[in-house]
A = this chain, B = another copy of it.
Amino acid sequence: MAQQERAIRTRQAILEAAGKVFDESGYEAATIAHILACAKVTRGALYFHFSSKEDLARGVLDEAVTTEGVSPQPFKLQELVDTSLLLAYRVQREPLLRASIRLSVDQRARAMFGTRWPDWITVTAALVQDAKDQGETLPHVVPEEVARLMVGAWTGVQLISEAMPEPPELADEISLLYQLMMPNIAVPGVLARLDMAPDRPLRLMSSAEDADVANGDAAT
């Protein structure tokens, strides 16, 4: 069991190193040697988990669609906001997530590995559909359409923010994006109760930590 846990940690360390290198250098320029140096693992350990640079890129992309830290909410639109804001917060702090975006944006890497945008659209459309079924949305809302636009808008706002000479905090921008779009998605009674503030991710994470402490997870 301890051995299995060690293997999982090594795999994760390699993925994070690959994310860092892909994020900094792009797919083409990234080398296994550089990833090895970053991960501080042996060549044998790396090849035990990943057979090639291609395989590493696929592993990085598999980490891209995450709703980690999002807990069920009475309003499904709140879960959608939470997912987007948490991702905005994390992407500026986690090279592995940033690398998955970079691999999607890069036309060559995209041709080889595809992107995770369709998965994000599926996740988003399911949340908007649930919201619609619960009566949270205005009558004209088409979940699949809103999902495509949301994922596109999120991606583009991230891209142009990152390219600015002094990149803003992405959660601030995504908060503004939701404040712009949500009044035409949510019914007023739900809209008035949604928390779209830029510090929402911080509060979500600290309440998740509190829950961990209460569950005794912090002691393990």
Residues of A at the B interface (CB closer than 8 Å) are 26, 28, 102, 104-108, 110, 115, 117-118, 121, 145-146, 148-149, 151-161, 163-164, 173, 176-177, 180-181, 183-185
Contacts and interface: CB of A to CB of B under 8 A. Distances in A.
Q: How many copies does the complex hold?
A: 2
Given A106-B106, A117-B160, A149 B26 contact: no
5 contacts: A102-B107, A106-B106, A153-B177, A181-B181, A183-B183
Nearest to A153: B153
Contacts of A118: 164
A26 B157 contact: no
Contacts of A156: 151-159
Nearest to A181: B180
A148 B160 CA distance: 8
Nearest to A29: B108
A106 B155 CA distance: 14
A177 B151 CA distance: 12
A148 B163 contact: no
